[in-house]
Amino acid sequence: MRVLSMLIGPIVVAACAGEGAGAHGTKVDARDVSERRVAEAASVTLRPGGDGDSWTFNYSVDQPTAELRLYRPSDGSRAASWRLFDADFELIARPYEDGEEDVIRRRDGARFKAVSVSESTAHNADVIGYWPFARLGAGGGVFGYTGRILACAEECPADATGGDGPFPVTIDPGDAAHFLVGSAVQDGPYSYLDRNDGLKFYAGATAPVETNDFVAVIDPALPGDIKRQLDTLFPPLMAYFTERLGAIDEKPSMFVSYNVPGVREGSHIKGGTLPGQVFMHFEGARATEIAARPTFPYFLAWFFAHEAAHLFQNYRGVDFPANESWMHEGGADFLAFLALKDLDAAPEDYLNDRLRSAFDRCAEELQRGPLRGAMERGNFQAYYDCGLLLHMAAAAEVAGEDGSNPFELWRAYVRNAKENGEWSTARFAGFVEELGADVAARLARDVMDAKIEDPTERLLADLPAAGVDTDWASANQ
Ligand SMILES: [Zn+2]
């Protein structure tokens, strides 16, 4: 449901990777489970390989299975980096729904109950999901991501809430001095039931830093000014969202690694969020150049504010197609904008540049067609850009009617969507319309599904009509 980020090459484009990217949606009804289909999540144990540069994943299932299906797609990434210990097994990619899935099976087709794989921690190139590993540049150790490792025997079981899984996982940190799973510090091998999102863990020599608001593992190699910026920004950011959107259940964790020059060419900066976790990884010699750009601190502030906003958005548990992503992605951008403005974490010029870029990119995409089709047209960024504007319009217009703030509006909408079990543009538009936001409601519906003749003109008319000041827009410069 949520998507993919990737930042490759010299240009940094951060987004939220792996968030629910293309996970199997298969629900197994008990009546459908024939002898041929084994509805069982595979147990997996992760531990460092003997060479110090790889990890092994040992899978086992209770009943013999013809195949293990890896829960998340990897777009060929696993095939490139996974090594099966036993030559009698193979890993193949095969078509699944709109994409591909990876499957491990025996070459002779016989059923099996266990199989082992190893992967180098140098492999950090999963294009459609989160990186499997990110090495720290100093002090050793790695951040690992379990979501990419979860697997099922033929079919995934359904949990009590109708989701896939749960997935039994054991992580053995070997002789690592420090070990963190999610945001919880652990002493030794740790077993738990993974949610289908997966989570990040850390095993290595760097001690986590724990405050009242979060737990962090920050790579000692991170340049001092970036580290200081995170130290300054993150605590007030968490307090800001807590005050306005309510406390979150679990103390969040933040993972930042800086492996420069690292093992890849160019620059790769990839960040994202998982339940209770925010992270960013830098890799490649040119990452230093990007980090030294004058606007990088503000980019980073926006990135972390956007990701932190996701932690507080509280939309998890609702199901929606990826092409409705403008709501949570644009919503997180809007909340980030408000936070940075209120916390004085970025200059007005920078924030206006972000709005101007979002406007220009959104209008350009709408020339091509309705926002709903942006993903199929290969422009997921449009959900951020148009979403930011749609949320601004709705919040401004509702505030003009009843004086409520954007945070109250967001909370009320999430409550409404959850009560109705529907997370859609139609529901959002209907909801804000009832609060008096006619212009914003019509704009959201049209942006999403109508062919707007002149998107720039329409946005330039509707945003101010809803109460948004557009002095920053290109046309008004
Ligand atoms: Zn996001």
Mean pLDDT, consecutive 10-residue stretches, the chain (477 aa), reads 28 36 34 58 95 94 95 87 96 88 96 97 76 87 94 88 86 96 92 90 93 88 89 90 89 91 82 86 87 88 91 83 93 97 96 97 98 93 97 97 94 94 95 97 98 97 97 89
Cα 411 to middle of ligand 1, angstroms: 17
Cα 306 to middle of ligand 1, angstroms: 6
DSSP symbols for 226-274: HHHHHHHHHHHHHHHHHHHH---SS--EEEEEEESSTTSSS-EEEEEEE
Cα 134 to middle of ligand 1, angstroms: 20
Cα 435 to middle of ligand 1, angstroms: 26
Q: How far apart are CA 293 and CA 208, in angstroms?
A: 28
Token digits of residue 466: 């809803």
Question: For residue 342, what are the contacts with CB-CB under 8 A and spacing of at least 6?
Answer: 240
Cα 330 to middle of ligand 1, angstroms: 8
* Strand segments (E) across 268-348: 268-274, 277-283
Predicted confidence at residue 2, as pLDDT, reads 29
Predicted confidence at residue 245, as pLDDT, reads 94
Q: Which residue has the tokens 């690992």?
A: 144
92 forms bridges with which residues in the sheet? 103
Helix or strand run (H / E) with residue 66? none
Q: Exposed, middle or buried by CB within 10 Å (0-12, 13-18, 19+), for 308?
A: buried
Predicted confidence at residue 161, as pLDDT, reads 72
Specify the pTM: 0.79
Cα 305 to middle of ligand 1, angstroms: 10
Token digits of residue 476: 């008004």
Cα 124 to middle of ligand 1, angstroms: 20
Cα 257 to middle of ligand 1, angstroms: 19
Token digits of residue 129: 């999901």
Q: What sections of 82-215 are H helices per DSSP?
A: none
Pairing of strands 253-259, 277-283: parallel
Predicted confidence at residue 13, as pLDDT, reads 34
Q: How far apart are CA 242 and CA 280, in angstroms?
A: 22
Say whether the peptide bond before residue 347 is cis (omega within 30 degrees of 0).
Answer: no
Cα 324 to middle of ligand 1, angstroms: 13
Q: How far apart are CA 44 and CA 64, in angstroms?
A: 15
Burial per residue of 337-362, b for 16 or more beta-carbon CB atoms within 10 angstroms, e otherwise = bbbbeebebbeeebbeebbbebbbbb
Cα 332 to middle of ligand 1, angstroms: 6
Predicted confidence at residue 78, as pLDDT, reads 92
3-state DSSP assignment of residue 393: helix
Q: Which residue has the tokens 């000014």?
A: 225
